Chain A
Amino acid sequence: MFGELVAVCYREDRYAIPRALIKREARRRLDTIVREEGKDPRSFGRAFVKAVEAAALAELKTKTIPRTRLCDVVWDTKRGELRVFGRGALATERVASLVERTFQIRVELASYPARAFGLDLGSRAGGVLDRLAPGWLFPDLARGQENAPDEEAA
């Protein structure tokens, strides 16, 4: 807490372990079970193989350095504004979801349309905004009739 600012840093660890490596490690474990316990490989059910793969993945994770991404979040409690210093889905989805769960607040993305609806417009302008459609800068393109620029100027 820094006065009215709440500063939080979220860390996201991502393990990029190739699927082939997990398969190979699981295969090695299954071979060990067959060799040491004398079991028939055909008796291994799908659930058992999956459990061995999960155990192999857990072990590989302990040996792997994860890719870490840090994302700073500064919440101005007075203005009700949250600044997320990150990009992409990390900032717009995962961190927003974490902030919602941590602080029990609702996070809305301040995209331009959202800002437009947040502006103090009159009732007439508000109605126009509701019905607003994309404005073609060059309507002739929509009709498939592209004119030369000098014709446009004329």
Chain B
Amino acid sequence: MRADDKDQSAQAPAAVRRIAEKAFLGPEFLTWLYFTLLEEGMELPLPDAFAKGTAEDEALVQFAVGKRAALRALDASGARVALSGGGLDDNGELLQAVRRGALLEVLALEVAIQSRVYTVTLRADDGGLVGVKLPDLFSEPDEAAPDPTVAPPDPLGAPRGKPRRPKLKLPLEDVLALRMQCLSELEAVIDALFARFVTRRLARAWQTEDLGRMRRHVAHGLKQRLAPE
């Protein structure tokens, strides 16, 4: 090595290096979340995500796997598998990619918190939320009884769009506060899930229980697909 080949650039601060070394936590979290949701029937009680005193049934959060997922291999090859469309909660390609050493780096989810439904895509690399759809909180509730004088729509007629509900006219400050509140609610759920993952990941049970559970799920899923009819 020549004398001027030595890297003489300033080293990144220790805190930055410490965080960079743990970049694998994001993909591991999404992979754990995917299999945990499948194992738990897409329903998790998350009391930590809600204010103290919230009723048990109200702290129950329902999930559905969305229409987008991407996996990347942990090894130097960095092979990437991108999947889109329905049925990602039972997808052989996804299981095969996991079996080959890939972890989820993007995962789309639908999250139902009490009566509010969110759509979100989680990114493992920067912890960001992509394509967030917040519940419609600005329309008047559709509680009016159908008008008997109006003829019902012809089921064989031309398709008609869903009638738009009138929008509530709120001041900008209230709209902003309401939207931020919705985002906070969603983030609280994700934070609670991540805290649960970290607790599991740092425990000895991770090796014996969580990894075993995920391996069994992958093996079972692949075996079902390989088994002759």
Residues of A within 8 A of B (CB): 2-3, 5, 7, 74, 76, 83, 87, 91-92, 109-117, 119, 121, 125, 128-130, 132, 134-138, 141-142, 146, 149-150, 152-153
Contacts and interface: CB of A to CB of B under 8 A. Distances in A.
Given A87-B130, A116-B198, A153-B223, 7 more contacts: A7-B176, A111-B19, A111-B23, A112-B29, A116-B22, A119-B198, A138-B99
Contact of A129 (B20, B24, B198): B198
14 contacts: A3-B177, A74-B180, A111-B23, A111-B126, A112-B26, A112-B127, A116-B25, A125-B199, A132-B201, A135-B28, A141-B75, A153-B216, A153-B219, A153-B220
B180 A5 contact: yes
B106 interface: no
A111 B101 contact: no
A92 B215 CA distance: 35
B180 A83 contact: yes
A2 B177 contact: yes
Given A116-B22, A149-B219, A137 B211 contact: yes
B127 A109 contact: yes
Contacts of B58: none
Nearest to A120: B195
B223 A141 contact: no
Contacts of A87: 128, 130
B145 to A, nearest CB: 38
B172 interface: yes
A114 B100 contact: no
A100 to B, nearest CB: 15
Interface in B20-36: 20-26, 28-29, 31
B191 interface: yes
The 7 closest A-B pairs by CB, nearest first: A113-B22, A149-B222, A112-B26, A153-B219, A134-B24, A152-B219, A111-B127
Nearest to B20: A113
B50 interface: no
B1 interface: no
Contacts of B125: 111
A76 B180 contact: yes
B202 A132 contact: yes
A125 B200 CA distance: 10
B49 interface: no
